[in-house]
Amino acid sequence: MTNDKFAMTQTVDSLFDTGLERYKAGDAASELIPVFKEVCDRAPKNSSAWTCLAWLYLLDNKPSFAYKAAQKAVKLNPQDPQARVNLAVAMLETSQKGLRQHVDFAQQLMFVNQEWQEEIKNSIEDGLSRKPDWQSLAKVKSWLFQE
């Protein structure tokens, strides 16, 4: 059985979980983008998959793709602070207007839920460790945490 056949028989959930595991193991964003694109194609209403895809595009220096994916993620789940952070970073990198409202909204969500605050903090630290010179993420971080 080839890998292609295996990929076709994998459920969307297991494909997503495998992608996350590979990300945590340090796989490059460029290698994971096709995995999450497939999840998004097969489950277009999965906001978490769109959020991950946007993040990977940002890590891979593809901000316009990230912007589109992040917009879908926010549309599907407006209460997801990570989707808002990704959208704000993508907007900053593509010189879009109106990103402050997403930063403010993410801030409010984090204020309400301590767990989300920790997740965002960890996500930003992870992003900066993978891409140390990521100025737009550093800027969004300083706005979120008022540093």
Cα–Cα distance list, 55 to 11, 61, 70, 72, 137 (Å): 22, 10, 8, 13, 11
* pTM (two decimals): 0.91
Cα gap 22→136, rounded to integer Å? 25
Domain spanning 3-145: CATH 3.60.20.10: no
pLDDT tens sequence for the chain (147 residues): 334 445 456 799 999 999 999 999 999 999 999 999 999 999 999 999 999 999 999 999 999 999 999 999 999 999 999 999 999 999 999 999 999 999 999 999 999 999 999 999 999 999 999 999 999 999 999 999 986
pLDDT at residue number 9: 60
Q: What angle do CA 130, 136, 139 make, to 5 degrees?
A: 110
Domain ranges, ordered by start, for the chain? 3-145
